[in-house]
Amino acid sequence: MTGLVYKSTGSWYTVKTELGKTYECRIKGKFRLQGIKSTNPIAVGDYVDFELEPKNDEDTGVINTIHDRENYIVRKSVNLSKQTHIIASNIDVVFLLITINNPPTFTSFIDRFLVTAEAYSIKTILLFNKIDTYNDDALLKVKRLIQTYRLIGYECIDISAKTGKNIPKVKSHMLNKVSMFTGHSGVGKSTLINAIEPNLDLKTKSISLQHMQGQHTTTFAEMYDLSFKAKIIDTPGIKGFGVVDMEKEEVGDYFPEFFELKQGCKFYNCLHVEEPKCAVKKALEKDEIAASRYRSYLQILEGDEQHYRADVWNLE
C-alpha cells in the first residue's frame, strides 16, 4: 500500500492512503537516505509504501519504502551537531512567519532559512504577523524589512492573524498546494492557521507536549487537509536554524542578489570576502545590497550557528 505521511511522533507515523484511510505505521530497521545522517529518516510530506501488520486487529503497518522526494527543508539537529533533521518534504510553498517583537525574528534567522529554501528550490513567502500590535517604530522596521526582501524578489505580506488582515491573500497562495508554515515559537502560527481554517482549532499545548517527549530532536510537523483544496504542514517553533550540506563556494549562489552579481567578480569562485575586484563587495559599498544580508552571509560562511545579534535590525 502507498500513502502520505501526515504526522510523525519519532517512532510512529500517521499515513493516509489515496482512499482517505489512515494507518499508524512504524519502520522496520534503519533507512539510509543517500548518505544523509538524519535524526528522522521519514518526514511529514513523504510518500511511503507500507504493509499491514499480520494478525493485528488495529490499523497498523510497517513502512518498507520511501519514495524519492521532490524537495525538503533540512536543518542541523538541535542536540546532535553532526546530524540533520528533515522538517518536512514535498513542499510547494513555505510561509515564514516573522514578528518584530514578542518574539523578535532577526534577519540572520530569516536569511538562513531562505538560503536553505533556495538550495532546494522551494518558494518562500514572508508573512509579517501581528501588524495590528506594533507602534510607529516597529511599523517602520516592518516597512524597511519588506522593502529589503521585496527588492531581492521575495513576496512579503503584512498580516494580522487576530484581525484577519490579508488572510484571504494568504489563502489564495495556498490553493491546490502543500504549504508549510514555520517560524519561531510565539510568532502566531497556530493563531494564523486557525484563522485560515477555524475548524482545525489548533492548540499550542500540543507543541509543548511534543517538546517534552525527550527525543533527540524536538521538531515534529503535522499535515492537515483544509476545506478549500489545500494541505498545510504546521511545524513547532524553531529556535535556531543551522545550514547544512553546503560548501562555502556555493552559499553565495543561494543569495539571489549575490548570484546576479557573481559574473562581475574577477574570480569565478569568489567568496566575496577578501578577493579583489568583487562585484558583491562593490555593490555593498554602494548600498545596492543590504548590509544585513551580507552579515548573514558571512555568519553562514563562518559556521556561526547562533549568532542572532540585535544589531542585525540595522538594515542600512
Q: What is the pLDDT of residues 62-75, one digit of tens each?
A: 998 999 999 998 87
What pLDDT does residue 201 have? Answer: 73
Kindly write down the DSSP assignment for every residue of 76-106, as one continuous string: E-SS-TT-EEEEEES-SEEEEEE-SSSS---
What pLDDT does 316 receive? 36
- Write the pLDDT tens digit of every residue in 73-82: 887 655 545 5
| Amino acid in position 96 | L
pLDDT, residue 212, reads: 30
Query: What's the confidence (pLDDT) of residue 218?
Result: 37
Residue 2 CA to residue 185 CA, distance in Å, equals 33
Which pLDDT score is estimated for 8? 87
Q: Is the pLDDT of residue 202 over 90?
A: no
Domains in the chain, CATH or no CATH each? 2-66 (2.40.50.140), 72-234 (3.40.50.300), 248-313 (1.10.40.50)
- pLDDT tens readout for residues 157-174: 999 988 999 999 999 999
pLDDT in the model for residue 36: 52
Average pLDDT over residues 81-91: 80
Q: What is the reported pLDDT for 205?
A: 42
pLDDT over 60 at 91, yes or no: yes
Structure confidence at residue 59 (pLDDT): 82
pLDDT, greater one: 39 or 146: 146
Helix (H, G, I), strand (E, B) or coil at 310: helix
Strand boundaries in the chain, DSSP class E: 2-8, 13-17, 22-27, 47-52, 60-66, 72-76, 84-89, 93-98, 123-128, 155-158, 178-182, 222-225, 231-234
Residues 6+ apart with CB under 8 A from 182: 73, 87, 94, 95, 96, 97, 113, 189, 235, 238
Q: What is residue 37's predicted lDDT score, i.e. its pLDDT? A: 63
Q: Which residue has the higher pLDDT, 204 or 261?
A: 261
- In the predicted model, is pLDDT for residue 147 greater than 50? yes
Residue 22 or residue 39, greater confidence:
22
Mean residue pLDDT across the chain: 84
Q: What contacts 77, CB < 8 A, 6 or more positions away?
A: 39, 83, 84, 85, 216, 217
Q: Answer yes or no: are the C-beta atoms of 244 and 85 closer than 8 Å.
A: no
| Grid coordinates belonging to 258 | 549575490
Long-range (24+ apart) CB contacts under 8 A made by 272-277 are 272/297, 273/298, 273/301
pTM of the model: 0.84
Confidence of residue 314 (pLDDT cuts 50, 70, 90): very low
Task: Tell me the pLDDT band of 38, cut-offs 50, 70 and 90.
Answer: low
pLDDT tens-digit map of 176-193: 999 999 888 889 888 899
Q: What is the pLDDT of residue 171?
A: 96
Residues of the chain with pLDDT > 70, as a percent, come to: 81
**Upstream peptide bond of 103 is cis (omega within 30 degrees of 0):** yes
166: left (phi over 0), alpha (psi -120 to 50) or beta: left
Give residue 305's pLDDT band: very low, low, confident or very high (50, 70, 90): low
- In tens, the pLDDT along 211-263 reads 332 232 334 789 999 999 999 998 877 766 667 668 888 999 999 999 999 99
pLDDT at 239: 62
| End-to-end CA separation in angstroms for the chain | 55
As a whole number, mean pLDDT of residues 37-51 equals 86
